[in-house]
Amino acid sequence: MTYIAFITVVFLLWRCGITLYNYFSKPYLIAYNDVFTAPLVAILIPARNEAHNIRNTLTALAACQYPHYKLFILDDNSTDDTLGILKAFQQENPTVDMTILQGSTLPPKWLGKNWACHQLAQAALQENPEFLLFLDADVLPKKQLIEAAIQTSLRHQVALLSLFPDQIMKTWGEKIVVPIMHYLLLTLLPLRWIEQFSFPSMAAANGQFMFFDAKIYQQYWWHEKVKNKITEDIEIVKIIKSQHLKAMTLLPKGLIHCRMYLNGNEAVKGFSKNFLAGFGNSTLALLFYCFLITGAYVAVFYEWHLLGLIACFTIICMMNICLALLSQQNILVTILLHIPKMFALCIIALRSIYVKLAGKNTWKGRKID
């Protein structure tokens, strides 16, 4: 029990150190006041069964008022009214430079989103844009987002800039499950190190916002290189680093929002599809991580009694304060929901292992192999 208690506390302190580093290093997207000629940005949105989201996203994009962009949206064989909504928006907003594409049949050995993004890139690069911005169909960009992305990319000379949008959560299920994404990201990886160090292991990105230098993308066609990877965003960063190029992952600090899921059950299913892949497809590593953040505290109590648990909980509260401030969430809610959040994380982990081993991993009607 002594060894387990020691490992648990060391792991907690290590994660606390990373969280504090992320808090004090302020890994935010900044809207600089640089003067530049507005480059052409191709905004690319894959949409599969997004009838409940897509109009809000398009309306938010139009309100950004960036002066030089072309919008490409691919209807990925939706079975709902996604295509009808796209056509209606196009007719109602003739000033928006918008192209609607119909996705072709999914080829063998491709995953759906990767294939959709590849088709979008093929169409957009014919217009010779300077940047490619891949967005999910459920994000809500704010004014200055595109300008800030351009300025940051030019200042840091990166091939890819990715953002983790601030999350909109309305139900208690969402408030328990959805913050797990930021919890894992900000307690396990110093975001500034992604740009500063060339190690492929220092990789994180979010497919909800991927901003590429178009000329570099056209040299490598990264979505094609990761065509069968479920964590295609992270795998692209690893490839970029292996090619001695730079990638950067930041927090938007209010410049883009997203409501990923409509309830907790939907969030559990959504996270389960790639949760195990985020741990290198190592069932042992994932289970050991879950043990260290939950059951291992029994050993801490056994060795150091209530005083040990109070000390650990104090550290956890400090971490959650930093996490809430970084991800634009309520501090009190973040602290109070910590324990339910950890058990939800374990449920997602077990479900992720089950669907992987049972071959039942699906998303939006497609099997994920």
Specify the CATH number for the domain of residue 79. Answer: 3.90.550.10
Q: What is the mean pLDDT of residues 317-329?
A: 96
Domain shared by 102 and 83, yes or no: yes
**Model confidence band, residue 369 (pLDDT cutoffs 50, 70, 90):** low
Tokens of 233: 């965003």
Domain shared by 152 and 239, yes or no: yes
In a domain, 56, yes or no: yes
Q: Which residue has the tokens 């160090």?
A: 197
In a domain, 131, yes or no: yes
In a domain, 351, yes or no: yes
pLDDT confidence of residue 205: 95
pLDDT confidence of residue 216: 97
pLDDT confidence of residue 302: 84
> Which residue stretches of 26-64 are H helix?
54-64
Q: How many domains does the chain have?
A: 2
Domain shared by 295 and 234, yes or no: no
In a domain, 281, yes or no: yes
pLDDT confidence of residue 64: 85
Q: How far apart are CA 141 and CA 131, in angstroms?
A: 17
Q: What is the mean pLDDT of residues 15-28?
A: 97
238-274 tens-digit pLDDT: 999 999 999 999 999 999 999 999 999 999 999 998 8
Structural domain for 213, as ranges: 27-262
* Whether the model pTM is above 0.85: yes
In a domain, 290, yes or no: yes
In a domain, 140, yes or no: yes
**Model confidence band, residue 340 (pLDDT cutoffs 50, 70, 90):** very high
In a domain, 367, yes or no: no
pLDDT confidence of residue 1: 75
Average pLDDT value over all residues in the chain: 92
pLDDT confidence of residue 65: 77
Q: How far apart are CA 11 and CA 293, in angstroms?
A: 9
pLDDT greater than 70 at residue 34: no
**Model confidence band, residue 312 (pLDDT cutoffs 50, 70, 90):** very high
pLDDT greater than 70 at residue 159: yes
**Model confidence band, residue 359 (pLDDT cutoffs 50, 70, 90):** confident
Domain shared by 308 and 325, yes or no: yes
pLDDT confidence of residue 3: 86
> Which residue stretches of the chain are H helix?
2-25, 54-64, 82-92, 112-124, 145-156, 172-177, 180-188, 191-196, 214-220, 222-225, 232-242, 264-275, 283-293, 297-326, 331-336, 338-358
In a domain, 296, yes or no: yes
